[in-house]
Amino acid sequence: MVPPVSHAELEQLAAGYALGALEPDDEHAFSSHLDGCPACRRTLRELELALGELARSLPPATPPRALRRAIRRRLGRVGGRRQRPVLRRRVPPAAVRLGAALLAVAAVFGLAFWNMTLRNQLAVEQRRRSESEAVDRLLNSGQSQVVALIPTTGGGGRGTVVSSSRSGEGVLLLEGLPPPPGGHVHQLWAVPGAAGIDQATPVRTWIPTPGSARIRFRSLPMEADSSWAVTSEPQGGSLRPTLPPVLVSSDLAADASQSG
């Protein structure tokens, strides 16, 4: 696409962008332009606000009460608890009160810990389910690309990137990737089509876990023919790959073996 220059062209692109109606190449171009143009960001903000109000002009539909319960259920939350009525009792002796207070404190800490553990388990389970739904959603969107990642020389493990070039949303599925050296994390990179790994842009880092893993990510909208690579990087990640990749998509494999 010719880079937009005129006022009218930018206004049209901003409108299409706010509506989500641009073609992928225009969307990508305008998205890049936005980064460096406060005037277009302001205009886009106004358009987003106007589109938000547009929904209010539609005939109102009332959500069923069960919808809120369904959301709550899916979050794994238990419904509101009713408080027990407080009963008046005879005041017990001081020693008994102190013992009871200590027991109550211990119970509260115990319950809090138990609650925390449950919440953590719940969070893990919710994340796992949501990641699985994200993969399904991407695969069913009709706009996803699936790219296999293979280990470079001497490495192990496998990966698959399922991503939408349009939204930039994606999931990296990993199997048996050996852990990185001490003090390092793994980092996913996106490589624009036809570029080398030195042109890679960082997507996200994660702390590796043994076995299989699902890593969700959100990058800038990508070209549909983007390649992917995984490297080990110092904690916090890097702006450019500093070590040879451990996994690459097949079109980068030759490049990686040369650089490694």
Partner 1 sequence: MRGARTYRSLRDSQLVALITERDAGALEALYERHGPLAYTLASAIVEDDALVDRIVQDVFVGLWDDAAPLGTDTDLVGARLLAVTRQRATALVRRQPQARRGSGRGEEPAFVLAPEPEPGGSATPAEEQYAAVRRALASLPAPERRALALAYLGGYTQREVAVLVEAQLETVRAQMAGGLRELKRALAGVEAQESSGWSHR
- How many C-beta atoms lie closer than 10 Å to residue 241's C-beta? 21
CA 215 centroid distance within chain: 8
Using CA atoms, how far apart are residues 121 and 141, in angstroms rounded to an integer?
A: 30
Interface residues with partner 1 (CB under 8 A)?
Answer: 7-8, 10-16, 18-23, 37, 39-40, 42-43, 45-64, 66-68, 70-72, 74-75, 77, 119, 123, 126-127, 130, 133, 140-142, 216, 218
Task: Pick between residue 127 and residue 240 the one whose CB is nearest to partner 1.
Answer: 127
Pairing status of strand 247-249 against strand 184-191: unpaired
CB of 212 to partner 1, least distance (A): 19
Task: Pick between residue 40 and residue 256 the one whose CB is nearest to partner 1.
Answer: 40
CA 150 centroid distance within chain: 23
Helices (H), the chain: 7-19, 24-35, 38-54, 65-74, 94-140, 250-259
Task: Pick between residue 126 and residue 257 the one whose CB is nearest to partner 1.
Answer: 126
To 5 degrees, how large is the angle CA 220–CA 254–CA 218? Answer: 15
CB of 201 to partner 1, least distance (A): 18
CB of 111 to partner 1, least distance (A): 15
Task: Pick between residue 5 and residue 87 the one whose CB is nearest to partner 1.
Answer: 5
159 in Cβ contact with 174 (< 8 Å): yes
CB of 221 to partner 1, least distance (A): 13
Task: Pick between residue 54 and residue 94 the one whose CB is nearest to partner 1.
Answer: 54
Using CA atoms, how far apart are residues 210 and 175, in angstroms rounded to an integer?
A: 9
Find the radius of gyration of the CA atoms of the chain: 26
CB of 11 to partner 1, least distance (A): 5
Using CA atoms, how far apart are residues 171 and 34, in angstroms rounded to an integer?
A: 26
Q: Amino acid identity, residue 241?
A: P
Using CA atoms, how far apart are residues 18 and 25, in angstroms rounded to an integer?
A: 15
CB of 105 to partner 1, least distance (A): 21
Task: Pick between residue 41 and residue 97 the one whose CB is nearest to partner 1.
Answer: 41
CB of 163 to partner 1, least distance (A): 15
Beta bridge partners of 190: 201, 228
Task: Pick between residue 100 and residue 108 the one whose CB is nearest to partner 1.
Answer: 108
